[in-house]
Chains A and B, each alone.
Chain A
């Protein structure tokens, strides 16, 4: 009975530790950014040592970040990704129609991502050809062209400096990532930019290596056009 064994693997103290960790997370969410370890420990009546251990674990896993002078805590980007994993509001009908159109034109899978801090979120997956490894496409930014585009964006302008935003100078528009093996999937990603040229969404086409290699220019052109079309709808 593997199921029971896996429960038994969680040792007696761990469920309580997990509950404490969630309580700490909740406390940071309710108290707001800047809450200190001492506040949390007093509020939850946890021993200081336990509180520090839990906080550092949450920092390690990036659910929580330390602010300013390292004494204050706030929710990290990873909590955002968690909360927004299933967005309450999907895409609008206009965006959906635009996506259907581009999918028809390109003939291979086309997915729409939104950029969320330093992360990607899947906004509209191609239902006919779903992503091969959805979790990896989102978490490993090096695994797909969409992720590489975001990495390049962060590189060219790490946190979005308003002065630089006036020009697309040095900003990536298209990233293409070829499969390493003939049977792998190649991807091409194009950014959708909002006002002030902020990268808000990424459209990514994914298809067989040879197919993509043969039609790279056409696919890119179509994606760029779709990005122009989608920009006002998405921002």
Chain B
């Protein structure tokens, strides 16, 4: 028996790893340990993603934008966008299976590519997600305006915009402060109601106008327009990655974060197709292809009940999207604060509710002020919403593309290089950048200079990050939820009772 034991021990010694392996250092606690770790379940992650995508509101308003861009080729653009987003999800998921973060795509790119990539990806994602957040806030105001216009026809509804914006912003920060679980549950219920409303109406429109289909084969194809349309289609899904910002707080992040990506994009795609068909068919009712939600309830040819119900759905969807987007941006700002690209103040976690409340207040204030100023200055909620939409498509598109292009480097760095994955990642990243470039080009071509907002915003934030990184000598970015001692097999239960229960400098 002793011989056997000896031989087993020796055989273990034989297969021991080479001595050249660097000495391991296992942290006693994760760098993100002050967030409430392991408190969020799969349902919360899914509702975070799906609410941030806001399929009911986005699906009901964006097809109009898509038709404006791609015209006849809309179906083709949509299909291209779907394929592209599926590939992006497949690429980004490879990060999510391997690291747990609080800054989603930014953290992936920062860790994989270092400071230079971090500044670019951080600027793109920050501008993009701030864009969505402002967009959905203004969207909520525009849906509320339609409802108010009907309820109080004599009052000037534009006067209501600041009030609605204030109420929604307050609701947003209040639900953030309630904690992840409560806020994701609230958004899930709200979004579910919105989706139900929109789906029922769209199915109704399709059935009533059976056979009215958007053209599948375009009459004349301008590749640039198809590309620009694809960017709008990718823009539909922006926000799906926000569940990754809850990674550090998730109970089973390696399983649930990738799953929430795939599930939310899949569900949203179905709703988008339905919305496109419904709206196209619905155009028969209104007479022109216009966003159903923006129709004046009293204008001839519309059904006031339909428009009202639809706008209740939009209002709910925007509300859910606002809460969810806020959740995501705040954690992104928190992560940027931790990495040093933003003041470290934002990287602080409130002791009581374990949430980055300083970042929350700053982000909400910024979004609120931007929404107020832009609606007041332009006097038109729709143009603000459309500029915000472009911002999110450009910003998030660039951020996704950077993450895709850095995937091969990431896989090499962690010792898991794979040729096929690298080729795929480069292809997806390049295609995505091309599509975004087409979108920017198309906007310039038609003279819509609101595209300057995301471009200038991105450039300004990027410059700020670069200067800050230089002047502060930042070299270490990409904070993530590292494995710490409690995640390992306890070395020895006995050791836990000794005077030094945890040896921070690891095991052999």
- Chain A interface (Cβ < 8 Å from any Cβ of B): 30-39, 43, 48-49, 52, 55-56, 59-62, 65-72, 74-77, 79-80, 83, 114, 116-118, 151, 154-155, 158-162, 194-196, 198, 200, 235
How does the 8 Å CB contact mask read for B474-496 relative to A, with 1 for contact and 0 for none? 00000000111111111001001
- Asked if residues A65 and B483 are in contact (CB atoms below 8 Å), the reply is yes
B489 to A117, Cβ gap below 8 A?
Answer: yes
A35 to B29, CA, bound (A): 21
Question: Which residue of B15, B21, B488 is within 8 Å of A30 (Cβ)?
Answer: B15
Do residues B30 and A159 form an inter-chain contact, with CB atoms below 8 A? Answer: yes
Tell me if A117 and B486 are in contact (CB < 8 A): yes
B24 & A33 in contact (Cβ 8 Å cutoff): yes
Measured in the bound complex, the distance between the Cα atoms of B490 and A75 in whole Å is 10
Chain A positions within 8 Å of B97 at CB level: 56, 59-60
Report the bound CA distance from A194 to B497 in whole Å.
6
- Residues from chain B with Cβ under 8 Å of A74 in the complex: 483, 488-489
Do A161 and B15 form a contact, CB below 8 Å, given A65-B488, A117-B488?
Answer: no
Most chain B beta carbons < 10 A, residue from A34, A39, A43: A34
Are the C-beta atoms of B488 and A75 separated by less than 8 Å?
A: yes
The answer to whether A77 touches B98, judged by C-beta atoms less than 8 angstroms apart, is no
- B30 — which chain A residues lie within 8 A by C-beta? 158-159
Q: Check B468 for interface membership: any CB of A closer than 8 A.
A: no
Q: Is the CB of A67 within 8 A of B26?
A: yes
Closest A residue to B29 by CB, please name it: A159
Per-position binary interface string of chain B over residues 391-424, scored 1 when its CB falls under 8 Å from any chain A CB and 0 otherwise: 0000000000000000000000111111010000
Do A71 and B414 touch (CB < 8 A)?
yes
Say whether B152 faces chain A, with CB atoms less than 8 Å apart: no
Q: Is the CB of A77 within 8 A of B489?
A: yes
Tell me, yes or no, whether B382 is within 8 Å of chain A by CB: no
Residues of A within 8 A of B418 (CB): 48-49, 52
19 A-B residue pairings within 8 Å (CB atoms): A30-B15, A32-B16, A32-B508, A37-B415, A48-B416, A66-B483, A71-B413, A71-B415, A74-B483, A75-B489, A77-B487, A151-B39, A154-B37, A154-B38, A159-B29, A160-B28, A161-B29, A198-B497, A200-B497
**Measured between alpha carbons, how far is A154 from B99 in the docked complex, in Å?**
21
B 94-107 to A, binary, CB cutoff 8 A, 1 in contact else 0: 00011100000000
Is B470 an interface residue, CB under 8 A from the partner? no
The answer to whether B255 and A61 touch across the interface, beta carbons within 8 angstroms, is yes
Partner of A66, one of B16, B98, B485, B508: B98
A179 → B minimal CB distance (Å): 21
A33 to B502, CA, bound (A): 16
- A220-B375 Cα distance, complex, nearest whole Å: 59
A34 contacts B488, C-beta separation under 8 Å: no
CB-based nearest B residue for A198: B501
**CB-based contact B490/A80 at 8 Å:** yes
Cα–Cα, bound, A173→B413 (Å): 44
A117 CA to B418 CA in the complex, in Å? 34
Contact of B38 among A30, A38, A69, A118 (CB under 8 A): A118
Other-chain residue from A60, A68, A194, A196 in contact with B24 (beta carbon distance below 8 A):
A68
Residues 8-25 of chain B, each 1 if its beta carbon lies under 8 Å from chain A, else 0? 000010011100011011
Asked if B416 contacts A37 (CB within 8 A), the reply is yes
| Sample of 6 further A-B pairs with CB below 8 A, known A32-B507, A65-B483, A158-B29 | A71-B416, A117-B487, A154-B38, A158-B37, A159-B484, A194-B496
Cross-chain contact of A159 among B33, B99, B420 (Cβ < 8 A): B33
Most buried by A among B484, B486, B500: B486
Instruction: Tell me if A76 and B488 are in contact (CB < 8 A).
Output: yes
- Is there contact, CB below 8 Å, between A116 and B493? yes
Contacts of A60 in B (CB 8 A): 97, 252, 254-255
Is A158 a contact of B16 with CB atoms below 8 Å? Answer: no
| CB pair B21 A76 closer than 8 Å | no
Q: Which residues of B contact A116 (CB under 8 A)?
A: 490, 493
> B185 within 8 Å of A by Cβ?
no
Rounded to whole Å, the gap between the CB of B413 and the closest CB of chain A is 7
| Residues of chain A lying within 8 A (CB to CB) of residue B508 | 32-33
Cα A66 to Cα B416 with chains together (Å): 13
Q: Name the residue on B nearest A87 (C-beta).
A: B493
In whole Å, how far is A114's beta carbon from the nearest beta carbon of chain B?
8
Chain A nearest CB, measured from B19 CB (Å): 12
The answer, yes or no, to whether B34 is at the interface (CB within 8 Å) is yes
Chain B residues near A155 (CB, 8 Å)? 36, 354
Q: For residue B420, which residues in chain A have a CB less than 8 angstroms away from its CB? A: 49
Rounded to whole angstroms, the CA-CA distance of A207 and B490 in the bound complex is 32
Which of chain B's residues 76-109 have a Cβ closer than 8 Å to chain A? 97-99
Which of B17, B413, B497 is within 8 Å of A69, CB to CB? Answer: B413
Q: Are A160 and B37 in contact (CB under 8 A)?
A: no
Contact of B487 among A52, A76, A151 (CB under 8 A): A76
Q: How far apart sit A161 and B498, CA to CA, in the bound complex (Å)?
A: 15
Contacts of A31 in B (CB 8 A): 15-17
**Alpha-carbon distance A80/B55, docked complex (angstroms):** 42
Q: Which of B15, B36, B98, B489 has the most CB of A within 10 A?
A: B489
Tell yes or no: B299 within 8 A of A by CB.
Answer: no
Task: Answer whether residue B499 sits at the interface, using C-beta atoms and an 8 A cutoff.
Answer: yes
Q: Which residues of A contact B415 (CB under 8 A)?
A: 36-38, 71
**Which residues in window 214-257 of B have CB below 8 A to A?**
252, 254-255
Instruction: Give Cα A43 to B16, complex, Å.
Output: 11
Contact A158 B33 (CB under 8 A): yes
Determine the chain B residues whose CB is within 8 A of the CB of A195 once the complex forms: 497-499
Nearest B residue to A58 by beta-carbon distance? B254
- Distance of A79 Cα from B500 Cα, bound (Å): 24
CA of A36 to CA of B24, assembled, Å: 12
Chain A residues near B486: list those with CB within 8 A. 77, 117-118, 154, 158-160
B96 to chain A minimum Cβ distance, whole angstroms, is 10
Given contacts A60-B254, A198-B497, contact A68 B25 (CB under 8 A): yes
Q: Closest residue to A77 on the B side, CB-wise?
A: B487
Top 3 A-B residue pairs of the complex, sorted by shortest distance between their CB atoms: A159-B29, A80-B489, A158-B33
Q: In whole Å, how far is B254's beta carbon from the nearest beta carbon of chain A? A: 4
A33 touches B38 (CB 8 A): no
In Å, the complex CA distance between A60 and B99 comes to 11
Which single member of A32, A79, A117, A154 contacts B17 (CB below 8 Å)?
A32
Cα A60 to Cα B259 with chains together (Å):
11
Nearest CB in chain B to that of A82: its residue: B489
Are the CB atoms of A52 and B416 closer together than 8 Å?
yes
CA distance A172 to B241 in the complex (A): 35
B506 CB, nearest partner CB in chain A, Å: 8
Q: With a CB–CB cut-off of 8 A, which chain B residues contact A59?
A: 97-98, 254
| A233 and B208 alpha carbons, distance in the complex (Å) | 76
Inter-subunit contact B98/A56 (CB<8 Å): yes
A198 touches B487 (CB 8 A): no
